[in-house]
Every structure is written in C-alpha cells, then in structure tokens.
Amino acid sequence: MKRREDISLPRQRRRVGVRYEPDAFGQFSESIARTLGTARFLLFQSFLCVAWLAWNIVTPDSWHFDPNPFGVLTLALSLQAAYAAPLILLAQNRQEDRDRQQAEVDRSVASRTQADTEFLARELAAVRLALADMVTMDELRDHLEKLVDSVGELTERVAPQVAPQPE
C-alpha cells in the first residue's frame, strides 16, 4: 500500500550518504573561522613552522622526521588551507545572511518610525490649528473690559431716561 503524502508541504529531497545538521555544521565552521582569524593562531602557526624548519635543518639527518625537503610541512599547510578556505567562506555566507536579516528588520523599524513620526507631525499640526482658534486669557480679559465699558456707557445713557420722574 502506497503512503499518502501531504501535498501542502514541499517534497523533501532524499539525500544519500552522510546526514548532518546544517546549522550545527555552520556553527562549527564559524568557530573554526574565528580561531583561524586570530593573531594567536597566526603566531602559533608561525612558531610551529619555524620550529619544524629548524628541527629539520639544524638537527642531524637521523633525527629528521620530514625526509623530503619540507614535503610534509607543505602538505600539512596545503591541507589546512584546503579545509580553512571553504569553512571561512561558509562562515562569511552565514554572517551575510544574518546581516541581510538584520538590515530587513532595521528597514521595517525605520519605516514604522517614519510612519509614526509623520502621524505625530500631523497630530501636532491639528493641535496647533485647534489652539489657534482658542481664546487666550488676555484676549478674554480685553473683551470683558470692553463689554464692561460698553455696559457702563449704555447704563449712563439709559439711566436718565429710566430714572423715576418726580410727581
């Protein structure tokens, strides 16, 4: 009986051979790249090469562990370079992916910030317009004083006409 597959999921490629976790391998490559990229490693490697050369030049021929003129040293350094270069490139690609994701997050945050700033600017303009139409205390005091003066003048004009007439 044939197994039914969920068609909502993409089909997985079947891998033949060694299976590994890509993220774990990526973290391993980043740790190697971080180690190879230090001054400590460069000094250690330089010291090892100088010691290797000195041992195989200065010591008697019977003590040499590299019988060819530094063939094993060349092979070891070539092997290290052959593995180091792809690991460093893999680490750089992972860093590039992280940088791209961070740039996308930064763009979205900047976009939201700009939208919020524009909204606040519009709100502030509306508040300013609303406040421009409002009466201040000084204006209100001036108008009240004018009204009091006008009422006083009218009272003076109307008072003789309304005053009781002697009989």
> Can you read off the two tokens belonging to residue 132?
């421009």
Element (H, E) at 113: helix 71-132
pTM of the model: 0.52
pLDDT at res. 166: 65
**Which residues are CB-contacts of 36 (< 8 A; sequence separation ≥ 6)?**
84, 87, 88
Long-range pairs for 110-119: beta carbons < 8 A, 24 or more residues apart:
none
pLDDT band at 164, cuts 50/70/90?
low
| pLDDT tens by residue, 49-85 | 999 888 888 888 888 777 776 888 899 999 999 988 8
pLDDT at res. 54: 86
**Which residues are CB-contacts of 66 (< 8 A; sequence separation ≥ 6)?**
52, 56, 72, 73
**Angle, in degrees to the nearest 10, between helices 71-132 and 22-36:** 110
66 in Cβ contact with 73 (< 8 Å): yes
| pLDDT tens by residue, 118-138 | 999 999 999 998 888 777 888
30 in Cβ contact with 94 (< 8 Å): yes
Q: Which residue has the higher pLDDT, 1 or 166?
A: 166
